[in-house]
Amino acid sequence: DADVTQTPRNRITKTGKRIMLECSQTKGHDRMYWYRQDPGLGLRLIYYSFDVKDINKGEISDGYSVSRQAQAKFSLSLESAIPNQTALYFCATSDLIVQYFGAGTRLSVL
């Protein structure tokens, strides 16, 4: 089984809809992250959490929110999806430096 599991793997939604992407990890790490990946722009950090009570904005947090339900679970919500949020989304977890990524969620907003 994968150390970092993301659901769903693919999602198509319409403009204005609220959607949630979920992430769970079995590495036992405290730190979790959400990134989006766009062609030519690499990985950009949306939100990160260093423990259950700690949530921090990344460089592109506008339009997104997160919830850290437990050490192992970190979900990302798009409150009102817009087409420029179409991207590949990755969840990651780390001990201190090295990050372990999930397989990604491909999101399309029509």
Q: Are 91 and 33 in contact (CB under 8 A)?
A: yes
Can you tell me which residue has the tokens 């989006």? 36
Residue 79 binding other proteins, by CB under 8 A: no
Residue 50 binding other proteins, by CB under 8 A: yes
Q: Which stretch binds other proteins (CB under 8 A): 11-19, 20-28, 48-56, 77-85?
A: 48-56
Q: Are 79 and 18 in contact (CB under 8 A)?
A: yes
Residue 1 binding other proteins, by CB under 8 A: no
- Residue 77, Cβ neighbours under 10 Å: how many? 15
Q: Which of 18/92 has CB closer to other proteins?
A: 92
Among 34, 74, 90, 107, binds other proteins (CB under 8 A): 90
Give the Cα separation of 110 and 5 in Å (integer): 25
Residue 104 binding other proteins, by CB under 8 A: yes
Residue type, 74: F
Q: Report helix, strand or coil for 85.
A: helix
Residue numbers at the binding site for other proteins (CB under 8 A): 4, 40-43, 45, 48, 50, 54, 56, 58, 90, 92, 96-104
